[in-house]
Amino acid sequence: MEQIRLNAKQIQNTLQYVDRTQSEDVKRCIFGELGCQCFQTSGVGSALEQFRGRPEAYLKHINDERAAPYWESLLPGGDGKTYILTGVVVDRCVCSLAGGKDAPLALCEYCCREFQEKLFGTLFDRPVEIEITSSYLRGGDRCSTVIRLI
């Protein structure tokens, strides 16, 4: 029997429904798990292992080798406890779950934040706090973040 193919619009509409109708706690759980699953299933986690605990090598990889297509730079904040991630200028949200400008803001607030907490927590080999300072879904022309080491 042939399987029914994944319908991206159906998933996008469901995420919009959850974002519109559920409490912040429910959105944090659902969208946060999406970010965790994205990190775990995308291969980013395993690719990042070579840089675990070696942030200088990763910064060189990002800043000098331009290895991340959606990031312009990842630089130390100057106080030894923060890093500034500046995204490239975009004309859409790069998340395949977004589906356009009217995508749920919970994708930024919880999904992307959780993804980045996993990513930078792995890189720095310690907990981090993520502050998304700019995003396409919030009306910006790029997605940028402050990473705080805890």
Q: How far is CA 142 from the centre of its chain?
A: 13
Q: Are 109 and 103 in contact (CB under 8 A)?
A: no
Residue 126 within a domain:
yes
Domain region containing 120: 8-149
Residue 129 gets the label, from left (phi > 0), alpha (psi -120 to 50) or beta, of beta
137 CB neighbour count, 10 Å cutoff: 22
Residue 14 lies in a domain: yes
- Quick: pLDDT tens for 96-124: 888 777 889 999 999 999 999 999 999 99
Asked if 146 contacts 86 with a C-beta cutoff of 8 angstroms, the reply is no
Provide the number of structural domains found in the chain: 1
**Domain assignment of residue 132, yes or no:** yes
Is residue 6 scored above 80 in pLDDT?
no
* Residues paired with residue 132 on neighbouring β-strands, in sequence order: 145
Contact 114, 95 (CB under 8 A): no
pTM value surpassing 0.85: yes
Residue 72, domain member (yes or no): yes
First to last CA, the chain: 51
What are the pLDDT digits (tens) for 55-99? 889 888 888 888 888 999 999 998 889 999 999 999 998 888 887
Does residue 33 carry a pLDDT above 80?
yes
55: domain CATH number is: 3.30.1380
pLDDT of residue 67: 81
